[in-house]
Amino acid sequence: EIVMTQSPATLSVSPGERETLSCRASQSVGSNLAWYQQKPGQAPRLLIYGASTRATGIPARFSGSGSGTEFTLTISSLQSEDFAVYYCQQYNDWGEWTFGQGTKVEI
């Protein structure tokens, strides 16, 4: 089983700042890495797939990069609506998905 490790667990930031979240895979997942945003009481929402492709309707301030085992999600200028928990997920193994433990972005 591929283990996904996210860091940090919590990020305390101010609106307008640029922040980078990290995700590491225990073995290569190629570019089969997605990022999701989850707000309290809501289902997660797909932000990035293929490590760097924004999903439909996702603002350009969200960007993803990386391949293999190291990945990052960057939010270029944090807006109030971006305070949430962010999860990475590998889907490289057909029919076996794993998620990271999440990074909470708080004010």
Partner 1 sequence: QITLKESGRTLVKPTQTLTLTCSFSGFSLTTGGVGVGWIRQPPGKALEWVALVYWDDDKRYSPSLKTRLTITKDTSENLVVLIMTNLDPVDTATYYCVYSQGSRTAPGAIDYWGQGTLVTVSS
Q: How far apart are the first and last CA of the chain?
A: 34
Counting residues that bind partner 1 (by CB under 8 A) gives 25
Query: Phi first, then psi: what are they for 82, rounded to 5°?
Result: -90, -5
Tell the smallest beta-carbon distance from residue 16 to partner 1 (Å). 28
**Pick 17 or 93: Cβ nearer partner 1:** 93
Q: Which is nearer to partner 1, 24 or 45 (CB)?
A: 45
User: What is each CA distance from 63 to 1, 2, 24, 76, 94, in whole angstroms?
Assistant: 27, 23, 16, 8, 25
Positions that interact with partner 1 (CB under 8 A): 1, 32, 34, 36, 43-46, 49-50, 55, 87, 89, 91-102
